[in-house]
Every structure is written in structure tokens, then in C-alpha cells.
Chains A and B, each alone.
Chain A
Amino acid sequence: MSSWDWQVYCRDTVSGEQVAGCFAAAPDQTYLQWMLHAWGWTITVSLGGLAVALVVGSIIGVLRTLPNSPGWVRFGNAWVEFFRNIPLLVQIFIWYYVVPDLVPGADSVSPTLLVIAGLGLFTSARVAEQLRSGIQTLPKGQRYAGMALGFTTAQYYRYVLLPMAYRIILPPLTSESMNIFKNSAVAFAVSIPELTQFYLQAGEETGAQSEIFLGVLAVYILSAMLVNRVMSFIERRLRVPGMVAPTAGAGGH
């Protein structure tokens, strides 16, 4: 393989010339600026999807564990089965091509929102399952104790079950958050100009496939690690002393 050409990042995207300092003034753009712009898109789609996934997933997870509402439980089951059984890429295509046809008024919705919905709802099924596992881990005495104190269902979920369940599922939730950043790569198939699309296009244009690939890889790893660190910080701050078994050293995050 020929020598590495890291200078490719400082090249102007139209003229191909090197730009001093690697940042060109508008409206010109170097490949580095393009990559950062694409990173912004990845972050937008991922964080949007994560927000949707956490909110919707929590609701569905709670619905699946309700003691006296078989109808809601079945709805929650159907939701999870539907969104878990269809591949993510197919779901994104459905949101991008099929929903605008079927749902009147949906063709004016921005494609970014459709992708965020697709990614978010796919992940919401997984978050719902994790929350359900977290709640069912708790001994059934917790629920009864809550009821014995005179709490309504909503109250004992809010004050007794969910605080503990969320702390228990923080590790798999960290994985889900990192997964969403990685899964955002499928957005390139529906024309979102994010990092994977940058790699495919810039790699082809410049011929410097390996250099672009390694740059994009580094950015993806950096994003996932940042999410990881934020979640482990949250986990440590929220940990209730004595609730989990002590582990040697720093323990798993």
C-alpha cells in the first residue's frame, strides 16, 4: 500500500488544493470541516432517537408490567414484538418511503424527523424490555409494600419501583445509548448526510479510502466513548450505597 495521505483532510472539497490551517472560510469547505458537519448530523439523529427511545420505551416497559390491565400488557407486548422483529434498515425505509404515502400530511415532515422516529421506535422496544427486566428483578414485596402504604399504582411505580429499576438497568441502557450512535449509520441509506455517507462519498472522491475510513472510525469510537463516560458518571452519582454488591476496584461501568 502506498504511503498515507493524511493531508487529504486539509484539502478543499471543490478545488482539491491544500488549505492552510485545515479550516477554510465560508463558502469553501475542507474535508475536515465536512467530516465535522457530518458528525453533527450523526449526533443530531442519535440524540433525537435516544430521547424518543427513552421516553417511549419507558412507557411501554411500564405498560408491560402493570398488574391489573391485561389490555395494556397485550398492547405493550405487541409493540415490542413488532419493533423487534423487523430489521432496522427496513424500518427506516418504511418511515422514509411508505409512511409519507400512507399517512396524509406526512410528506411535509422533514426526513430527519422520520429517521429519528424510525431509530427511536426501534430502540424503544429494546429499552422497554430492559425496563421490564429491571422491574421484574425487584422482589414482589416491593410492590406489595407500596400498595400497603396506600399508594396508587402510579404512585408506587413513581416512588418505589422505578427509582430502583432505573438504577438496575443503567448498564444495559448505556449499551443502548452507544448502540443508537452506531445504528445511526443506517441513516445514510435515506440521504441523511451523516458520517457513513461522508466516508462513502469522500473516500470515493479523494481516493484516500483508508485515511477517511480511519478518521470516521475514530470519530465513531470517540462518540461512543463519550456516551459511555457520561452514562457511567450518571451511574456513579445515582448509586444507592449498599444496594449493589461491592466490586473490586472501579468495577464494571
Chain B
Amino acid sequence: MKKTLLAFALTALAIGAAQADDTLAKLKASGSISLGVRDSSALSYTLGNDKYVGFHTEMAERIIGDLSKQVGKKLDIKYTLVTSQNRIPLVQNGTVDLECGSTTNNLARQKDVDFAYTTYVEVVRMAVRANAGIKSIKDLNGRTVATTTGTTSVQTLRKNERAQGIDFKEVYGKDHADSFLLLESGRADAFVMDGSILAANISKAKNPADFKIVGEELSVEPIACMVRKDDAAFLKAVDDSIARQIKDGSLAKLYDKWFMQPIPPAGRALNMPATEATKAAWANPNNKPMEDYAKK
């Protein structure tokens, strides 16, 4: 019994050690990569039937194309749906090799995962019903605000509530579509989330004209792809691919395709030109966390 336990423990340690640091070798051996995708963000969403699209999803497909060239064989992409709550544990334990969705790069998360170069800078704003008369966060006093569990917007709301001395009730949706449904059904007066997610959900609503995005920027957040911690070779490969896409202009064209042109499923355009902050992030590729942006 003791010998079996010892053998088992050693094997487990060996497996654990083997998994830790070499994603590139694992990709080469297995020929497939697990890509984390989201279902209702502007950067990564689903059309149903296991089809995942979006600015970050397509960018990730191109990154994987570059990775395929690097490991010398075509990598088969397994799209793995993740949620705001499980994306970090899944990257940590190796179920997902690369996650390109709408994950904010901040110091707390940098303890658990590594972030690639920032490819999108998000601002957190509010979506409200156009006829509600809410223009800024101060108008939220006494109202109900929806946000999604597991996102940084929850903390942002808490800080703003405390700092500005306003009092509102919070309801938490389990994902972005659920939180927007809370706004649509009238259970919440405002939905606070990243501007691109607000725009994407409004464009998919039955009557987009009923909603508008208002209010000041509650938070500025850099969005980047996530990979497992301490795997320097893999991170470099992903960063090199992103730098290549920025340099040859394909990233800017991709941004235009997903934010300025009509997109599936509704065929409406989001009409969100790249902000100065996003263009600055492309001009100087870096993976600085959100806290660095807040200091400015």
C-alpha cells in the first residue's frame, strides 16, 4: 500500500512538473491548442452552434497561425467557452492554453497568470434606457445597478459608491447577457460594464434605440490575452505574433472589421473607432496592468 502511494505521488509530481513550463512542447506533441473564448463580449462572442467570432477571437486565430509556423505543424484549435468566473482557474490548471476574451490586466491577476501585450484599452461606462434621464453616476443615487459577477466592474462600482458617497442597490448577473437582461426587463436602471460589451449587447437587443451609453469613464482597463504563468517561451511567441500583427497593419484592419463594419449576427455596426489609449497601446506594445493606467 505504501509503495503504491509513493509511486502514485511521484507520478503525480512528474506529471505536474511536466505540465508546468512548456506549452510549446505540449502543442507540438498534441497538435492542438485549447483557445478560451467568451460568449457575449464585443471582443469574443458566439453565433450559436459552437461558432465563436470577434476581434480578439480572430486575432487569436492569427496568433495560433503564427504559433503553428513556429512549432512546425498546423495546430488544431479547440474553442473552450469560459466565463468571467472560471477563466483564470482554467488557464492556471492548463485546460485552456490561450485565453483572448475581455480579461483586464491587473496586478491581482498577474499573480496567477501572465498577460500578453495589451491589444485593447477598455473604458467602463453605463448603459441605461434612453428615456431614464440618467446622465452620470451621481444620478444613480437610490437606483438599482446591474453588473456581472466575476468582473472588475464590481470593484469599480464599489469604489465609486464609497468615494462619491452615493447609495445604490447592486444586482449581479451571472454573465453579460444576463446582466443586460436585468436592464432590459427593468430590474436594473443601469448596467455598468466595459464600453465595448455594452455596445455589443445593445446592438443585439430587440430595440437598440431604447438604450444608450452614458456617463463618465469609471475606469480605464487594458485588455490582453492570458497565458499560464512562468512560461516565458510561450508568452514570447504570443507577444511576437501580436507585435507582427500591429507592425504589418493587420491588427488595425481587424479592429476596423469588427468595430466599424456591420458584424454578425444582427448585421449592425458598433461604430466605435479606436480610442487614443488603444492606439497608444499598439504603438508601444506593453503589458502594463490597470493600476498603471489609473495613475495617469
> Chain A interface (Cβ within 8 Å of chain B)?
13-14, 27-28, 97, 100-101, 107, 111, 188-189, 191, 193, 197, 200-201, 203-207, 209
A52 to B186, CA, bound (A): 27
Q: Is the CB of A197 within 8 A of B187?
A: no
Residues of B within 8 A of A100 (CB): 185
| A204–B172 CB distance below 8 A | no
Verify B186–A201 contact, CB threshold 8 A: no
A204-B88 contact given A97-B181, A189-B174, CB 8 Å threshold: yes
**Contacting residues, chain A, for B173 (C-beta < 8 A):** 191
Q: Which of B89, B151, B162, B172 contacts A209 (CB 8 A)?
A: B89
Inter-subunit contact A107/B85 (CB<8 Å)? no
CA–CA, A206 and B155, complex, Å: 10
Mind listing 9 A-B residue pairs with CB under 8 Å? Answer: A14-B159, A100-B185, A111-B171, A188-B172, A188-B174, A191-B171, A204-B84, A204-B88, A207-B108
The answer, yes or no, to whether B182 is at the interface (CB within 8 Å) is yes
A127 to chain B, nearest CB (A): 28
Q: Are A204 and B150 in contact (CB under 8 A)?
A: yes
The answer to whether A200 and B85 have CB atoms under 8 Å apart is: yes
CA–CA, A179 and B111, complex, Å: 37
Do A205 and B89 contact each other (CB < 8 Å), given the known contacts A13-B158, A188-B174, A191-B171? no
Residues of chain B with a CB closer than 8 A to A27's CB: 162
A205 touches B155 (CB 8 A): yes
Chain A proximity mask over B134-175: 1 for CB below 8 Å, otherwise 0: 000000000000100111001100110010000000111110
CA distance A97 to B109 in the complex (A): 34
- Shortest CB distance A46–B (Å): 19
* B186 surroundings in chain A (CB, below 8 A): 107
**How far apart are the CA atoms of A205 and B172 in the complex, in Å?**
14
Report A-chain residues with C-beta under 8 Å of the C-beta of B158: 13-14
- Is B154 in contact with A111, judged by CB distance below 8 angstroms? no
Contacts A13-B158, A14-B158 supplied; 12 other A-B pairs, CB < 8 Å: A14-B155, A100-B185, A111-B171, A188-B149, A191-B172, A193-B172, A197-B172, A201-B172, A203-B85, A204-B84, A204-B88, A205-B155
A191-B88 in contact (CB<8A): no
Q: How far apart are A42's CB and chain B's nearest CB, in angstroms?
A: 15
The binding surface of chain A is classed by DSSP as helix
Q: Is the CB of A200 within 8 A of B162?
A: no
Q: Which of A189, A191, A201, A205 is most buried by chain B, counting CB atoms within 10 A of its CB?
A: A191
CA distance A198 to B123 in the complex (A): 25
B40 to chain A, nearest CB (A): 15
Mark out the residues of chain B between 186 and 201 whose CB falls within 8 Å of any chain A CB in the assembled complex. 186-187
Residue of A191, A204, A206, A209 touching B182 (CB-CB under 8 A): A191
Tell me the complex Cα distance, A148–B240, Å.
91
Measured between beta carbons, the chain B residues less than 8 angstroms from A97 are: 181, 185
Whether B154 lies near A201 (C-beta < 8 A) is: yes
Cβ–Cβ < 8 Å partners of B185 in chain A: 97, 100-101
Residues from chain A with a CB closer than 8 A to the CB of B58 are none
Residues of B within 8 A of A13 (CB): 155, 158
Partner of B150, one of A101, A189, A201: A201
**B231 proximal to A (CB < 8 A):** no
Residue of A97, A193, A205 with most chain B CB atoms under a 10 A cut-off: A205
> Could you tell me the distance between the alpha carbons of A134 and B187 in the complex, rounded to whole angstroms?
43
Q: Are B108 and A201 in contact (CB under 8 A)?
A: no
In the complex, what residues of B have CB within 8 A of residue A111's CB? Answer: 171, 187
Q: Once bound together, how far apart are the Cα atoms of A124 and B157, in whole Å?
A: 39
Known: A100-B185, A111-B187. A14 touches B162 (CB 8 A): yes
**B112, CB-defined interface residue at 8 Å:** yes
Closest residue of A by beta carbon distance from B108: A207
B157 to chain A, nearest CB (A): 10
Nearest Cβ on chain B to A191's Cβ, whole angstroms: 4
A205 touches B174 (CB 8 A): no
Residue of B nearest to A206 (CB): B108
For the complex of A and B, 9 pairs with smallest distance between CB atoms: A191-B171, A204-B150, A200-B85, A207-B108, A189-B174, A200-B149, A201-B149, A191-B172, A14-B162
Assess the A207–B84 pair: CB atoms within 8 A. Answer: no
Q: Which residues of A contact B178 (CB under 8 A)?
A: 189
CB distance from A171 to the nearest CB of B (A): 35
Q: Report whether B149 and A197 are in contact in the complex, using a CB–CB cutoff of 8 Å.
A: yes
CA distance A14 to B164 in the complex (A): 13
Q: Which residues of B contact A206 (CB under 8 A)?
A: 108
Within 8 A of A (CB), among B56-114: 84-85, 88-89, 108-109, 111-112
Enumerate chain B residues within 8 angstroms of A107, measured Cβ to Cβ.
Answer: 186
Of B108, B170, B181, B187, which is within 8 A of A205 by CB?
Answer: B108
